[in-house]
Chains A and B, each alone.
Chain A
């Protein structure tokens, strides 16, 4: 922090300033330290201390088989995510065709329903168990994914199509270049946001049949017995995992679509 001059320090509080990456890192450290301090000094006795959470994490990992549970959940989420991507991309691209537009709009509106009321009909269709969970997660994520992705497709300016048309491209090539390739970076961004929605839904979904385990079921079990340190330990793991996935997908996006980043830099 000693490298910061007074003027540099002032910059941090001005809107729309570009800062050095080392400064950005220092900022993150500052905020983490602040949060940790507030947590340590917290007057709420029921809130477990960082030490307690750390101990609970160790116990969960070594004695309660957290690793395999984590694997179960990861598998479920990735499975559902793969299905979500396939269904949602197809639906979003379908907005190009007038016939399908009402259908896509309807799917998008289903996100208001939430999952709880859907367990029963979904059980009838899937027969319960693993496929029920995949179906519910896929459904939940698809409604959000389609909402964002269909918007991306709808926002493609008309001139983008006309530009390809005057070049003499066929409608099929125009679809591929403008709709599919031209929005790939945004699709990956949408996917990134929606992976987070999957994590948010996981407790509910895995709670349906806890026997099959998973990290969400684990949380519910600890919660029932007011084992708060354990609950927070699991939340922490979910947070770290989510962040790792998020980071990984960010790297992937930059790798596949370097142009997206170029358009975002502010200078």
Chain B
């Protein structure tokens, strides 16, 4: 991994209700560069259900404080709430605002003028194919539309890091493909953008990410869980030639790595 470190999660531990959930989770996100092409970063954080992925997101976004350890941005700067975007698992939106107004308020909350926020909202509605849904209330949206609004809302004022909690769950194949494209598109809007995808969908995560981190617990020799999840494995997909390719899923190396990861996943 070459480029500058954009984000570091350093030895993050968290205990909840007396149980160790995260145990010294550490990883770095490096700037990925490609000649002649703006390349954002997409990292996938894989882990089985209940391992602590959502808790880790909350800590990285500075919504919760870890018991120990820290999360820092470029050149070691601490992260404040509001600096890291999060698309939450169930796509919360302001129920009393229309889709358009949900996007506008995100702009205004970040200091955009009303006119600028309206401009951004309009642009994003078109980009996310929600142009005809601008005047709908969240209660009138389908699951997939709701997700797109939630993502759009987070990039009205793009943050350097956007975390997405299970963005691939409950989508039909074409919607899944669409969201995957969207993730890549948003990441590549800026060289320093990073999107963190937190999921148990191995295939989708592999297809869009440049780096995969596997979060999991250790086991005793007789197969019992030890408390506390940590990064068990890091896969550099750029090094393996499995990043930034539309046809990546058809490569034999993709399939064999998928198999390897699945195998590993089962043991976590």
* A163-192 interface bits toward B, Cβ cutoff 8 Å, 1 = contact, 0 = none: 111111110010001100110110000000
In the complex, are the beta carbons of B105 and A182 less than 8 A apart? no
B121 to chain A, nearest CB (A): 13
Given A159-B90, A262-B140, A263-B139, answer yes or no on A164-B109 (Cβ-Cβ < 8 Å): yes
Q: Does B88 contact A (CB under 8 A)?
A: yes
A123 to chain B, nearest CB (A): 43
Among candidates B82, B95, B96, B137, residue contacting A167 with C-beta atoms closer than 8 Å: B82
Q: Does B208 contact A (CB under 8 A)?
A: no
Q: Does A120 contact B (CB under 8 A)?
A: no
Q: Does B94 contact A (CB under 8 A)?
A: yes
In the complex, are the beta carbons of A259 and B88 less than 8 A apart? no
In the complex, are the beta carbons of B86 and A166 less than 8 A apart? yes
In the complex, are the beta carbons of B139 and A163 less than 8 A apart? no
B100 to chain A, nearest CB (A): 14
Among candidates B63, B93, B96, B154, residue contacting A165 with C-beta atoms closer than 8 Å: B63
Given A167-B154, A177-B94, answer yes or no on A162-B88 (Cβ-Cβ < 8 Å): yes
Given A166-B63, A166-B84, A167-B82, answer yes or no on A173-B109 (Cβ-Cβ < 8 Å): yes
Interface size class of A (residues with CB under 8 A): 20 to 34
Complex Cα–Cα for A170 and B110 (A): 9
B174 to chain A, nearest CB (A): 25
Given A167-B153, A258-B137, A259-B137, answer yes or no on A182-B88 (Cβ-Cβ < 8 Å): no
In the complex, are the beta carbons of A163 and B110 less than 8 A apart? no
Among candidates B86, B90, B139, B157, residue contacting A262 with C-beta atoms closer than 8 Å: B139
Chain A, Cβ-Cβ closest to B139: A262
Q: Does B61 contact A (CB under 8 A)?
A: yes
Complex Cα–Cα for A66 and B57 (A): 66
Complex Cα–Cα for A162 and B55 (A): 13
In the complex, are the beta carbons of B82 and A168 less than 8 A apart? yes
Q: Does B228 contact A (CB under 8 A)?
A: no
B residues in contact with A177, CB < 8 Å: 94, 105
Q: Does B241 contact A (CB under 8 A)?
A: no
In the complex, are the beta carbons of B92 and A262 less than 8 A apart? no
Complex Cα–Cα for A262 and B137 (A): 8
Given A262-B140, A263-B139, answer yes or no on A168-B96 (Cβ-Cβ < 8 Å): no
Complex Cα–Cα for A93 and B58 (A): 26
Q: Does A160 contact B (CB under 8 A)?
A: yes
B residues in contact with A181, CB < 8 Å: 94, 96
In the complex, are the beta carbons of B82 and A165 less than 8 A apart? yes
Complex Cα–Cα for A175 and B94 (A): 12
Which A residues between 213 and 264 are near B, CB-CB below 8 angstroms? 257-259, 262-263
Q: Does B119 contact A (CB under 8 A)?
A: no
Given A165-B63, A167-B153, A167-B154, answer yes or no on A259-B82 (Cβ-Cβ < 8 Å): no
Which B residues between 81 and 117 are near A, CB-CB below 8 angstroms? 81-86, 88, 90, 92-96, 105-106, 109-110
A167 to chain B, nearest CB (A): 5
Chain A, Cβ-Cβ closest to B82: A168
In the complex, are the beta carbons of A167 and B109 less than 8 A apart? yes
In the complex, are the beta carbons of A160 and B82 less than 8 A apart? no
Which B residues between 137 and 165 are near A, CB-CB below 8 angstroms? 137-140, 153-154, 157, 159
In the complex, are the beta carbons of B109 and A169 less than 8 A apart? yes
Complex Cα–Cα for A157 and B92 (A): 10
A residues in contact with B139, CB < 8 Å: 259, 262-263
Which B residues between 41 and 97 are near A, CB-CB below 8 angstroms? 58, 61, 63, 81-86, 88, 90, 92-96
A residues in contact with B153, CB < 8 Å: 167
Complex Cα–Cα for A107 and B92 (A): 32
Given A159-B88, A167-B106, answer yes or no on A259-B63 (Cβ-Cβ < 8 Å): no
Given A262-B137, A262-B140, answer yes or no on A184-B96 (Cβ-Cβ < 8 Å): yes
Among candidates A160, A169, A257, residue contacting B92 with C-beta atoms closer than 8 Å: A160
A residues in contact with B109, CB < 8 Å: 164, 167-170, 173
Among candidates B92, B137, B154, B157, residue contacting A159 with C-beta atoms closer than 8 Å: B92
Among candidates A165, A184, A262, residue contacting B81 with C-beta atoms closer than 8 Å: A165
Central interface residue in A159, A163, A169, A177, by most chain B CB within 10 Å:
A163
| 9 residue pairs bridging A and B, Cβ less than 8 Å apart | A163-B92, A163-B93, A165-B82, A166-B63, A166-B82, A166-B154, A178-B94, A181-B94, A257-B96
Additional pairs, 18, CB under 8 Å, beyond known A163-B86, A182-B95, A259-B137: A159-B92, A162-B58, A162-B63, A163-B88, A164-B109, A165-B63, A165-B82, A166-B84, A167-B109, A168-B82, A168-B83, A168-B106, A168-B109, A168-B157, A173-B109, A178-B94, A181-B96, A259-B95
Interface residues of B (CB under 8 A from A): 58, 61, 63, 81-86, 88, 90, 92-96, 105-106, 109-110, 137-140, 153-154, 157, 159
